[in-house]
Structure 1
Amino acid sequence: MREIFTELPWWVKWIAVPVIALVVFGGLIASVLGFVIGLLFKLLVFVALVGGLIYVVRKFMSNSSSRSDW
Protein backbone atom coordinates (compact mmCIF):
# COMPACT_ATOMS: atom_id res chain seq x y z
CA MET A 1 0.00 0.00 0.00
CA ARG A 2 2.82 2.41 0.83
CA GLU A 3 4.47 1.80 -2.54
CA ILE A 4 1.27 2.75 -4.33
CA PHE A 5 1.10 6.13 -2.58
CA THR A 6 4.79 6.95 -3.04
CA GLU A 7 4.45 6.81 -6.82
CA LEU A 8 1.45 9.17 -6.92
CA PRO A 9 1.73 12.96 -7.19
CA TRP A 10 1.29 15.03 -4.01
CA TRP A 11 -2.10 16.43 -5.02
CA VAL A 12 -3.56 12.92 -5.29
CA LYS A 13 -2.37 11.98 -1.79
CA TRP A 14 -3.31 15.22 -0.06
CA ILE A 15 -6.36 16.44 -2.03
CA ALA A 16 -8.01 13.72 -4.13
CA VAL A 17 -7.94 10.86 -1.62
CA PRO A 18 -9.37 12.93 1.30
CA VAL A 19 -12.08 14.36 -0.98
CA ILE A 20 -13.06 10.86 -2.11
CA ALA A 21 -13.10 9.71 1.53
CA LEU A 22 -15.36 12.64 2.47
CA VAL A 23 -17.72 11.85 -0.40
CA VAL A 24 -17.89 8.16 0.49
CA PHE A 25 -18.00 8.51 4.29
CA GLY A 26 -19.49 12.01 4.49
CA GLY A 27 -22.93 10.83 5.58
CA LEU A 28 -21.48 8.61 8.26
CA ILE A 29 -19.21 11.37 9.54
CA ALA A 30 -22.10 13.86 9.58
CA SER A 31 -24.41 11.48 11.43
CA VAL A 32 -21.77 10.64 14.05
CA LEU A 33 -20.96 14.34 14.49
CA GLY A 34 -24.66 15.17 14.77
CA PHE A 35 -25.15 12.44 17.36
CA VAL A 36 -22.19 13.65 19.44
CA ILE A 37 -23.26 17.30 19.26
CA GLY A 38 -26.84 16.36 20.14
CA LEU A 39 -25.63 14.30 23.07
CA LEU A 40 -23.46 17.15 24.33
CA PHE A 41 -26.40 19.58 24.00
CA LYS A 42 -28.69 17.24 25.94
CA LEU A 43 -26.01 16.82 28.60
CA LEU A 44 -25.67 20.61 28.86
CA VAL A 45 -29.45 21.02 29.22
CA PHE A 46 -29.52 18.27 31.87
CA VAL A 47 -26.73 19.93 33.87
CA ALA A 48 -28.45 23.32 33.61
CA LEU A 49 -31.80 21.90 34.77
CA VAL A 50 -30.26 20.02 37.70
CA GLY A 51 -28.27 23.11 38.67
CA GLY A 52 -31.41 25.25 38.48
CA LEU A 53 -33.33 22.74 40.58
CA ILE A 54 -30.60 22.70 43.23
CA TYR A 55 -30.56 26.52 43.25
CA VAL A 56 -34.33 26.76 43.65
CA VAL A 57 -34.45 24.14 46.40
CA ARG A 58 -31.62 25.80 48.34
CA LYS A 59 -33.24 29.22 47.92
CA PHE A 60 -36.58 27.86 49.11
CA MET A 61 -35.00 26.01 52.04
CA SER A 62 -33.07 29.10 53.16
CA ASN A 63 -36.20 31.27 52.92
CA SER A 64 -38.35 28.79 54.84
CA SER A 65 -35.79 28.46 57.64
CA SER A 66 -35.52 32.25 58.01
CA ARG A 67 -39.33 32.53 58.20
CA SER A 68 -39.51 30.00 61.02
CA ASP A 69 -37.23 32.23 63.10
CA TRP A 70 -39.84 34.96 63.11
Structure 2
Amino acid sequence: MREVFAGMPWWVKWVAVPVIALFVFGGLITSVIGFVIGVLFKLLVFVALVAGLIFVVRKFMTSSSSRSDW
Protein backbone atom coordinates (compact mmCIF):
# COMPACT_ATOMS: atom_id res chain seq x y z
CA MET A 1 0.00 0.00 0.00
CA ARG A 2 2.87 2.32 0.80
CA GLU A 3 4.28 1.85 -2.71
CA VAL A 4 0.98 2.94 -4.27
CA PHE A 5 1.03 6.30 -2.50
CA ALA A 6 4.79 6.82 -2.85
CA GLY A 7 4.58 8.74 -6.12
CA MET A 8 1.44 10.67 -5.26
CA PRO A 9 1.38 14.29 -4.04
CA TRP A 10 0.75 14.92 -0.34
CA TRP A 11 -2.78 16.22 -0.87
CA VAL A 12 -3.88 12.89 -2.35
CA LYS A 13 -2.94 11.04 0.84
CA TRP A 14 -4.11 13.64 3.32
CA VAL A 15 -7.09 15.31 1.59
CA ALA A 16 -8.51 13.32 -1.33
CA VAL A 17 -8.47 9.83 0.20
CA PRO A 18 -10.14 10.88 3.51
CA VAL A 19 -12.77 12.90 1.62
CA ILE A 20 -13.56 9.92 -0.60
CA ALA A 21 -13.71 7.64 2.46
CA LEU A 22 -16.14 10.04 4.18
CA PHE A 23 -18.23 10.22 1.04
CA VAL A 24 -18.41 6.44 0.66
CA PHE A 25 -18.71 5.50 4.34
CA GLY A 26 -20.38 8.67 5.62
CA GLY A 27 -23.80 7.08 5.98
CA LEU A 28 -22.35 4.14 7.84
CA ILE A 29 -20.37 6.40 10.14
CA THR A 30 -23.40 8.53 10.98
CA SER A 31 -25.50 5.40 11.54
CA VAL A 32 -22.96 3.98 13.97
CA ILE A 33 -22.60 7.29 15.80
CA GLY A 34 -26.39 7.65 16.00
CA PHE A 35 -26.72 4.10 17.33
CA VAL A 36 -24.06 4.67 20.00
CA ILE A 37 -25.66 7.96 21.09
CA GLY A 38 -29.07 6.26 21.22
CA VAL A 39 -27.73 3.42 23.38
CA LEU A 40 -25.98 5.87 25.70
CA PHE A 41 -29.18 7.92 26.04
CA LYS A 42 -31.24 4.81 26.84
CA LEU A 43 -28.60 3.72 29.36
CA LEU A 44 -28.76 7.15 31.00
CA VAL A 45 -32.58 6.98 31.19
CA PHE A 46 -32.35 3.46 32.66
CA VAL A 47 -29.88 4.56 35.33
CA ALA A 48 -32.04 7.58 36.19
CA LEU A 49 -35.17 5.44 36.51
CA VAL A 50 -33.43 2.84 38.70
CA ALA A 51 -32.00 5.59 40.89
CA GLY A 52 -35.46 7.15 41.21
CA LEU A 53 -36.97 3.79 42.11
CA ILE A 54 -34.33 3.20 44.77
CA PHE A 55 -34.91 6.69 46.16
CA VAL A 56 -38.69 6.22 46.34
CA VAL A 57 -38.43 2.77 47.94
CA ARG A 58 -35.96 3.99 50.55
CA LYS A 59 -38.15 7.03 51.24
CA PHE A 60 -41.23 4.85 51.86
CA MET A 61 -39.26 2.30 53.87
CA THR A 62 -37.94 4.96 56.25
CA SER A 63 -41.32 6.71 56.55
CA SER A 64 -43.14 3.42 57.26
CA SER A 65 -40.63 2.39 59.92
CA SER A 66 -40.91 5.78 61.64
CA ARG A 67 -44.72 5.40 61.77
CA SER A 68 -44.47 2.04 63.48
CA ASP A 69 -42.28 3.58 66.19
CA TRP A 70 -45.26 5.68 67.39
Category of TM-score, reference length = shorter chain: over 0.9
1:5 corresponds to: 5
1:65 corresponds to: 65
Measure how far apart 1:63 and its partner are.
0.5
In the TM superposition, what are the counterparts of 1:1-70 in structure 2 within 5 Å? 1-70=1-70
- The normalised TM-score by structure 1 is 0.96
**Given residue 24 of structure 2, which amino acid in structure 1 is its aligned partner?**
V
Measure how far apart 1:2 and its partner are.
1.1
Structure 1 segments of 4+ aligned residues over 3 angstroms from their partners: none
Structure 2 unaligned residues grouped into runs of 5+: none
Alignment identity in percent? 81
Structure 1 unaligned residues grouped into runs of 5+: none
Measure how far apart 1:64 and its partner are.
0.5
